[in-house]
Chains A and B, each alone.
Chain A
Amino acid sequence: MFERRLYYHIDWALLIAILALCALGVMMIYSTSADPTRVTSRLYITQLYAIGLGIVALLVTLTLDYRTFTDKSHLIYIALLGLLLYVMFFGVVQMGARRWIALRGFNLQPSEFAKVGVALVLAKFFGENRGTPAWTDLAVGGALTLIPFALIAKEPDLGTAVTLLPVFLAVAYLAGMRMRILGVLFLCCLLAAPVAWRFALKDYQKTRISTFLDPSQDAKGAGYQQIQARITVGSGGLQGKGFKKGTQGQLRFLPVAHNDFIFSVLAEEQGFAGVLVALGLYLFVILRTLEAARLAKDRLGAYLVLGVLASFTFQVVYNITMSAGLAPVKGLTLPLMSYGGSSMIATLAGFGLVLNVRMRRFTN
């Protein structure tokens, strides 16, 4: 199984960058939530446990050959759908959404693992087909994506559901989907937007979008978070206000600072300098992962790596944009930094697969 020489092919640089981002996240969680008088002050400890579990998951996904996973991907996929259905009926309700399965100690969020599951199943599906995917292939791949998408969107958790779409698009794109089809898909989305606006979106979602276009129209309500995010980031300046000295995050002008808006807190306390470091680390992780895809021994590996990377990149870019108040506020976490166990474990497990593919590029 795990041959000793494989050890030398582990991409240590990528792993170190990932762990550095985790450490940065723990630091910011500590900064915003450590307060001896509050119950929530031990969040950073929970996060450290999550990182530990994530590393275990990473080791698991690293150790077995990725082809073992793709071979069993249909089973993993079905198991995930089962979990999502379970959530739908027996999940824990928090803040108006049924997203979690209560386990002893913490809540598991299956939707976070769905990203990896979809990446695996799509990699296998497109990896088995040779040549440019046909219309039918795209339809099947799309269906494989849309089933979990629908289940997650129903929770409701549109944010997490949407992160599945880049997985499909990225894998299909790499598999050689014609650009023309991408264009058609884009056009369809554009045409569907007014229909979605009219029928599919809930009122609070509409408010978020219209507020994003003009935050001042609702400066105290939905626009509040966006304005506060901008103030938080802008007031950080070049060097930041210092660790635990950010007024916006510390005095709670910024909501869910340890979670969705952790990057804003980083920008406030560590300034533009800290932002550049974090952006640099994320960019490094992404480019390094793209390189892993390029080096992959087979198409299957490349698809898998890109599938994992797609949802990660989408989430990173969207969350950071939102953190600066430049995108509508959506409950999307920043992978590797935001507080959240399921997300952390799933993300690290995904990077285990990335390392796996790169590491086994010379094996047969």
Chain B
Amino acid sequence: MSNVEDRRGIITRLSFLQYVVTALFSILAVSFWVLQVAQHAKFEEMAENNHQRTLALRAPRGIILDRDGRVLVENRPSFSISIMREHSKDLNRTIRMLAGVLGYEEAAVREIVNRHRKEPTYRPITVVLDASISQVSAVRARRLELPDVLVEPMPTRRYPEKLAAHAFGYVGEVSDKEISEDESLKSGDIVGQSGIEKVYNTQLMGIDGARRVVVNSVGREIRTLDQQEPVEGRRLQLTLDYDLQKAVEDGFRVAGFNGASVILDPQNGEVLAFASLPEYDPNAFAAGIDRASFSALITDELKPLQDRAIQGRYSPGSTFKMAVATAALQENVITPDFKVHCGGSANFFGRSFKCWKAGGHGTMDLRHAIEQSCNVYFYTVGNMTGIDKIHKWATALGLGERSGIDLPNEVQGLVPSPEWKQQRFKEKWYAGETISVSIGQGGVSLTPVSMAVYAAALANGGTRVTPHLLKAVDDGSGWKARPTPPPTAKAAVDAEKFQAIRDGLWLVVNGGGTGGRARMPGHDVAGKTGTAQVISNEGRLAARTTKDLRDNGWFVFFAPRDKPEIAGVVFLEHGLHGPNAASVARHILETYYAKKEGRPLPEPPADFHLDYKDPYARKTAPAAQN
């Protein structure tokens, strides 16, 4: 082979290589053009998602004040710990490590994550709502190992006083159902779950802000790009009076009973105090209540989560008698001077009905019948008036109706009527049943809040005010008074006739009646006690149960008699006797007047010296077995 030929072969092969290399580089150039120019927008967005994160700046909920401007509900700074799935390289590893760092069961953390799995990945999953300082520092110390775990400042609801829990309600993480109903809510939001927090949730919730930050590949923040400040929720001023509220709850504590109390301004329906006992601690919910504590609350026999004031229905006993009297007077069945003789019992429709006083009260008119709470008088009058008229006037005074208070899930009480019985049981009304209804038994069951409305109506001359808790709202531009909700009804009562009832109520407290414990010289307190059976006496004796079956005690009241400015109800669950409730009311009224007149507020007494005797208690349980 000659040298020249040899050389030509080399040159040919080199030229071929030249073309190959040029072609390869052209392909490379085109590939880069496709990536960098044609698909630039897509990759630019991906790069931005890589290094930019939007962190929520939680808006604090609006604070809640009492009528004097005292803070009742506020927020405290806290931290939540959540997982950002979007950039998670190994979610299982993150869950395992985070559980270890937090001191939780891995399964518990996994369950929280699974619950939110379907949500968009850019939304962090909150694992701990109100993390402890040691949890926060443990997570921060391991930031490099847990780049996808987020520690966010977050305001947590705080209820500084353990008061009025049922009025405030509580907050909690929004549920999936709530999100589907309200588009403005998103996962992880804290919303009101009951009470004021729920009813005025939209006002209380602020608008979350956001902060856009640059993070590096291990999730460390490098700098902030921009920030949108959160807007705090609106501030609410309630009609509640902190001092009065405290007096109410102190009163129950001293008495040692559960129950409910609603105190109103009878002129406009402002709720001055609102209590249902036992209470729960709303702070426990604010920090994200754990399952065990929640189920303990749910299964508690005393039902601390039930708002007895608006959700409990109880037989009103003798406190119902004013409704019967109103019906009889307004329908001209009797005059206030109508007299009845009480011999301790009376016969109606072939059956004997007893008065509570064994020897009888003798002959008396309406005023004294109220004072003495004479059953025979009201059996007689009720029988003369008839169930339809009793029902009509009880309803006019707010009994058996929803009060319309600005709290959720209020239930309706019941004043029986022939229509109701027909509908409910498909049975005819028996005239004998009217006798029981006349003294507030026989199926009459009422909510404490409706009893407060009733007390207010007795006080103000028949106006069924709408109880309400919200007084004013501040959306940042100053306080705006909330218009008083109009009364739900106004009973056309004759003032003169009505005065007779009020005189009777005055006598209950200031005469020889059962309400003497609420007497306050100079303040003309008017009121009525009620002692209502939970079960019939015979049933009580026969019952074999650990359930508390002691009688309930009521006291409805207002003061002063002629120009009333406070009205309300004290309901002692299993409080044995109505007069016991009057003792609690006395402390409430004392506090009210001390505050009004600028005197130092009374300390709650160590003891009300209540009557704890239970006349129907089974005295000889072991003997009964022999």
Q: Which residues of A contact B (CB under 8 A)?
A: 130-131, 170, 173-174, 176, 220-221, 224, 228, 230-238, 247-248, 251-253, 267, 271-272, 275-276, 279, 282-283, 286-287, 290, 293-294, 299, 302, 306, 313, 317, 320-321, 324, 326
Contact = CB atoms under 8 A, between A and B. Distances in A.
Contact of B36 (A131, A251, A271): A271
A97 B464 CA distance: 89
Contacts of B89: 220-221, 224
B18 A275 contact: no
A294 B25 contact: no
A299 B28 contact: no
The 4 closest A-B pairs by CB, nearest first: A234-B43, A235-B47, A220-B89, A251-B216
B87 to A, nearest CB: 9
B25 A283 contact: yes
Contacts of A306: 14, 17
B50 interface: yes
Interface of B: 1, 6, 9-11, 13-14, 17-18, 21-22, 24-25, 28-29, 31-33, 35-37, 39-40, 42-44, 46-48, 50-51, 88-90, 214-218, 222
A251 B33 contact: no
The A interface is mostly helix, strand or loop, or mixed, namely: helix
B50 A247 contact: yes
Contact of B32 (A170, A235, A267, A293): A267
A327 to B, nearest CB: 11
A231 B51 contact: no
13 contacts: A130-B6, A176-B13, A230-B35, A231-B43, A238-B37, A247-B214, A248-B50, A252-B216, A272-B37, A283-B25, A299-B10, A321-B31, A324-B31
Contact of A234 (B13, B21, B39): B39
Given A302-B10, A317-B24, A236 B217 contact: no
A176 B14 CA distance: 11
Contacts of B14: 174, 290, 293-294, 302, 306
Contact of B11 (A220, A232, A294): A294
Given A267-B32, A267-B36, A276-B32, 20 more contacts: A131-B1, A176-B13, A220-B88, A220-B89, A230-B35, A233-B43, A234-B39, A238-B36, A247-B47, A248-B51, A253-B50, A253-B51, A294-B10, A294-B14, A302-B10, A317-B25, A320-B28, A321-B28, A321-B31, A324-B31
Nearest to A310: B17
Contacts of B215: 251
B31 A326 contact: yes
A298 to B, nearest CB: 9
A282 B40 contact: no
A317 B28 contact: yes
A317 B26 CA distance: 11
A290 B10 CA distance: 11
A227 to B, nearest CB: 8
B10 A235 contact: no
Contacts of B13: 173-174, 176
- Residue among A231, A235, A236, A324 having the largest count of chain B Cβ atoms under 10 Å: A235
Nearest to A317: B24
Quick one: which of A131, A247, A299 has the most chain B CB within 10 A? Answer: A247
A320 B39 CA distance: 18
Nearest to B216: A251
Contacts of B43: 230-231, 233-235
A234 B39 CA distance: 7
A237 B44 contact: yes
A173 B16 CA distance: 11
Contact of A237 (B22, B37, B218): B37
B119 to A, nearest CB: 19
A248 B215 CA distance: 11
A238 B25 contact: no
Contacts of B218: 252
Contacts of B222: 251
A272 B33 contact: yes
Given A247-B214, A252-B218, A253-B50, A234 B40 contact: yes
A232 B47 contact: yes
Given A276-B29, A279-B28, A251 B51 contact: yes
A271 B216 CA distance: 21
B36 A233 contact: yes
B20 to A, nearest CB: 9
Given A238-B37, A247-B50, A290-B17, A272 B10 contact: no
Contact of B47 (A174, A231, A275, A326): A231
Given A235-B44, A247-B50, A279-B28, A287 B36 contact: no
Contact of B21 (A173, A267, A283): A283
Contacts of A320: 28
A248 B37 contact: no
